[in-house]
């Protein structure tokens, strides 16, 4: 299995309702904005690492 190196992850929110809509993550040294879509491969990988206890997603800045 190929595992991407995710060093940080933080939710971002929709300013209209304040709900989480994406994750800003540093992956293999580069920042990406990742949608909360299970069909998105990067989101799926983030959640896999979260479930494995290898990554914590920080709450959005208020």
Partner 1 sequence: MSEIQVGQINSTDGSTAITTGADGYVSFAKTQIGGRRNLIINGAMQVWQRGDFSVSDRGYFADRWKDYFNPGTSASQLTSGLPDGFSSGVSYESDTATVLRFEQRIEGDTSTILNNKQATFSFYVKGSTSLDGVTVNATLGVASTKDDFSTVTVVANGSFMALSESWQRYEATLDLTGVDVSNGLSARIATGNCTVGSILYITGVQLEVGSVATPFEHRSYGEELAACFRYYFRMHPTGNYTRYADGYWTNANNASVNVYFPVPMRANPEIDTTGVANDYIIINGGSVYNLTSLPTFNRGTQTADGSCIFANILATSTSNGTAGNATQLASLAGGNWVGDFLGFQAEL
Alpha-carbon span 5 to 46, nearest angstrom:
10
- Residue 56 within binding range of partner 1, rule CB under 8 A: no
- Residue 33 within binding range of partner 1, rule CB under 8 A: yes
Burial of 23 (0-12, 13-18, 19+ CB in 10 A): buried
- Residue 51 within binding range of partner 1, rule CB under 8 A: no
Q: Is the dihedral of CA 25, 30, 35, 40 positive or negative?
A: negative
The one among 8, 48, 50, 55 contacting partner 1 by CB under 8 A: 48
Residue with Cβ nearer partner 1 (28 or 59): 28
* Residue ranges in contact with partner 1 by CB under 8 A: 1-2, 12, 14-16, 21-22, 24, 28-35, 37, 39-45, 48
């Amino acid at each position: 299995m190929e595992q991407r190196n995710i060093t940080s992850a933080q939710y971002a929110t929709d300013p209209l309702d304040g709900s989480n809509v994406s994750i800003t993550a540093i992956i293999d040294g580069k920042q990406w904005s990742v949608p909360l879509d299970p069909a998105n491969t990067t989101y799926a990988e983030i959640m896999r690492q979260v479930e494995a206890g290898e990554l914590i997603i920080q709450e959005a800045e208020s």
